[in-house]
């Protein structure tokens, strides 16, 4: 191959390999480089006849690319805080002396958004261009079309647009990629996407747990999810849940899910979302509950010990099965709406603080395909923001207001039923608690203000006086 490549990718782990094959399949010639050359050789040998160039050195790799070069880095990133330097930084440092003005470096990993902003600034100082792109869809998405959330200067996006649009997933003919915003906006939105994903997954697990406690067989639960996937809750996660529950262990014939240890792992983006919500004073209680549920699940030893010490009610669910399925459906759907309302509230708040000019409706629209949270109902979110771009909270859009109104009786019954039977539903109940708090004209924070004024003279406003006037009461002394 004598002609220069259109695109280059560094890091041939599974996601990297799949992305390369995806880009190549859209008609582009792709150069690849991996630190361990044997991996590059194997990859090239495995795909004869494709427009691929395997480079043994970084110099050779850079030289094989057409200018302005477009180089995506897909190496393992372990950094949590901005001060940490990781493999992405190491690769960037090696690239800098080899690149020319206006070449584009793309980080397609799950980098922390502040790290992305640091790299964006650093590379700009060197006359290079940087894109921090969140890529969601797992291995299959990377190969067939992921949802891509790129951040960086709009002018750099314009250069990358043809490649990004052709490799992304498509829904109704629309590519699942838009320019999210400047700086770290892309990785930020990907981080919240992951938080929402945590919420969706936990809610599904709580539904499963209720059915299990109600005496459903795993096959019966699989069928419930498969049926739901034909309806308004159609989503990738509901679909794979049905399929996962159907899967039998070849050795024992037992559903494989029932053989899997109940200890969940996490890579950190959920926790980053929590920290960011706390910094922005935005409530994301459903996502919080989901992250915390994973943490508690991982404390298996402590739970096993406590299960012998702490008492609870005996499970006794007598609800008719079909009726229970409908109730849990409604509880799940309503809770999911709350989770998205909270996640979008966080994105909106942060976008305003950072002046990113985010378009929530379009962000929801690029989550409709390719990514892990892809779902039919995301269309409704896009519609809601198209109708009213200034929507203060998703719950208040006519479609969702109506949905929450129609589902709430069943939602309340499911949270009550689970609670009375001692079945943990932290995300279902956090969602309901948010709904009831948000819609409360008066919360008991009047008493809270009294307490604060009592011990700390923090003052309070009065219902019968103008806003902004502060009062203090001489409370009785209580210490002897």
Active site residues: 190, 197
**Please, what sign has the CA dihedral across residues 452, 458, 459, 460?**
negative
Q: Measured from the CB atom, is 41 or 279 closer to ligand 2AM?
A: 41
Residue 86 to residue 254: CA distance in whole angstroms: 42
Q: Are 198 and 287 in contact (CB under 8 A)?
A: yes
The secondary structure of 28-87 as a DSSP string is --EEEE-SSHHHHHHHHHHSTTSSEEE-SSHHHHHHTBPSSPEEEE-------STT---H
**Please, what sign has the CA dihedral across residues 269, 411, 222, 146?**
negative
Q: Measured from the CB atom, is 59 or 402 closer to ligand 2AM?
A: 59
CB of 18 to ligand 2AM, least distance (A): 13
CB of 168 to ligand 2AM, least distance (A): 22
Phi, psi angle pair for 2, to nearest 5° = -95, -25
Residue 370's region, left for phi above 0, alpha for psi from -120 to 50, else beta, is left
Residue 256 to residue 248: CA distance in whole angstroms: 5
The secondary structure of 96-132 as a DSSP string is GGG--TT-EEEE-S---HHHHHHHHHHHHHTT-EEEE
Q: Are 24 and 30 in contact (CB under 8 A)?
A: yes
CB of 91 to ligand 2AM, least distance (A): 5
Residues pairing with 14 in the sheet: none
**Per-residue three-class SS string for 343-407:** HHHHHHHHHHHHCCCCCHHHHHHHCCCCCCCCECCHHHHHHHHHHCCCCCCHHHCHHHHHHHHHH
CB of 156 to ligand 2AM, least distance (A): 23
Q: Measured from the CB atom, is 115 or 235 closer to ligand 2AM?
A: 115
CB of 34 to ligand 2AM, least distance (A): 5
Phi, psi angle pair for 301, to nearest 5° = -60, -45
Q: Measured from the CB atom, is 11 or 108 closer to ligand 2AM?
A: 11
CB of 212 to ligand 2AM, least distance (A): 37
CB of 12 to ligand 2AM, least distance (A): 5
Q: Measured from the CB atom, is 76 or 472 closer to ligand 2AM?
A: 76
Q: Measured from the CB atom, is 11 or 351 closer to ligand 2AM?
A: 11
Site for ligand 2AM, rule CB under 6 A: 11-13, 34-36, 39, 75-76, 87, 90-91
How far CA 211 is from CA of 124, 306, 327, 403, 420, in Å, comes to 54, 23, 11, 23, 15
CB of 125 to ligand 2AM, least distance (A): 22
Q: Measured from the CB atom, is 92 or 324 closer to ligand 2AM?
A: 92
Q: Measured from the CB atom, is 91 or 123 closer to ligand 2AM?
A: 91
Token couple for 384 = 């809601």
Q: Are 242 and 170 in contact (CB under 8 A)?
A: no
**Per-residue three-class SS string for 278-337:** HHHCCCCHHHHHHHHHHHHHHCHHHHHHHHCCCCCCCCCCCCCHHHHHHHHHHHHHHHHH
Nearest to 6 by CA among 21, 25, 27: 27
Q: Measured from the CB atom, is 108 or 137 closer to ligand 2AM?
A: 108
Cβ-proximal residues to 151 (8 Å cutoff; 6+ apart), any chain: 113, 116, 131, 132, 133, 134, 179, 180, 181, 182, 183, 184, 185, 186, 187, 188, 189
CB of 40 to ligand 2AM, least distance (A): 9
């Amino acid at each position: 191959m004598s002609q220069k490549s259109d695109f280059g990718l560094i890091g041939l782990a599974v996601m990297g390999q799949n992305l390369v094959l995806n880009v190549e399949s859209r008609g582009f010639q792709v150069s690849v480089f991996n630190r361990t050359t044997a991996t590059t050789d194997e990859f090239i040998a495995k795909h004869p006849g494709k427009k691929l160039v395997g480079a043994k050195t970084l110099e050779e790799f850079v030289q094989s690319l057409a200018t302005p070069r477009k180089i995506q880095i897909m190496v393992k990133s372990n950094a949590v805080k901005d001060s940490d330097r990781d493999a992405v930084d190491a690769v960037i440092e090696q690239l800098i002396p080899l690149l020319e003005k206006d070449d584009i470096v793309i980080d397609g990993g799950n980098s922390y958004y502040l790290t992305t902003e640091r790299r964006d600034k650093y590379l700009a100082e060197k006359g290079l261009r940087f894109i921090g792109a969140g890529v969601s869809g797992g291995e299959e998405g990377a190969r067939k079309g992921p949802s891509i959330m790129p951040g960086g200067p709009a002018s750099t996006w314009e250069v990358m647009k043809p490649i990004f649009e052709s490799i992304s997933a498509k829904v109704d003919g629309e590519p699942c990629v838009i320019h999210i915003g400047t700086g770290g906006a892309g990785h930020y939105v990907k981080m919240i996407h992951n938080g929402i994903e945590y919420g969706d997954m936990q809610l599904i697990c709580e539904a499963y747990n209720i059915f299990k406690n109600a005496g459903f067989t795993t096959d019966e639960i699989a069928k419930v999810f498969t049926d739901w996937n034909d309806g308004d809750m159609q989503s990738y996660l509901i679909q794979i849940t049905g399929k996962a529950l159907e899967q039998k262990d070849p050795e024992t014939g037992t559903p494989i899910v029932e053989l899997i240890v109940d200890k969940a792992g996490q890579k950190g983006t959920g926790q980053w979302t929590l920290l960011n919500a706390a910094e922005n004073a935005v409530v994301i209680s459903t996502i919080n509950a989901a992250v915390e549920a994973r943490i508690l699940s991982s404390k298996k030893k402590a739970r096993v010990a406590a299960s012998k010490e702490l008492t609870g009610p005996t499970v006794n669910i007598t609800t008719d099965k079909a009726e229970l399925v409908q109730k849990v459906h409604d509880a799940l759907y309503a809770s999911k709406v709350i989770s998205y309302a909270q996640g979008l509230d966080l994105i909106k708040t942060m976008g305003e603080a950072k002046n990113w000019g985010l378009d929530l409706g379009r962000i929801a629209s690029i989550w409709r395909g390719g990514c892990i949270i892809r779902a039919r109902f995301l269309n409704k979110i896009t519609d809601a923001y198209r109708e009213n771009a200034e929507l203060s909270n998703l719950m208040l859009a006519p479609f969702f207001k109506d949905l929450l109104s129609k589902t709430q009786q069943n939602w309340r019954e499911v949270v009550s039923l689970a609670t009375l039977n001692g079945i943990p539903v932290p995300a279902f109940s956090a969602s309901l608690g948010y709904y009831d708090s948000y819609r409360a004209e008066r919360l008991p924070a009047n008493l809270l203000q009294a307490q604060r004024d009592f011990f700390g003279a923090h003052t309070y406003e009065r219902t019968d006086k103008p806003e902004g006037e502060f009062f203090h009461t001489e409370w009785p002394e209580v210490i002897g």
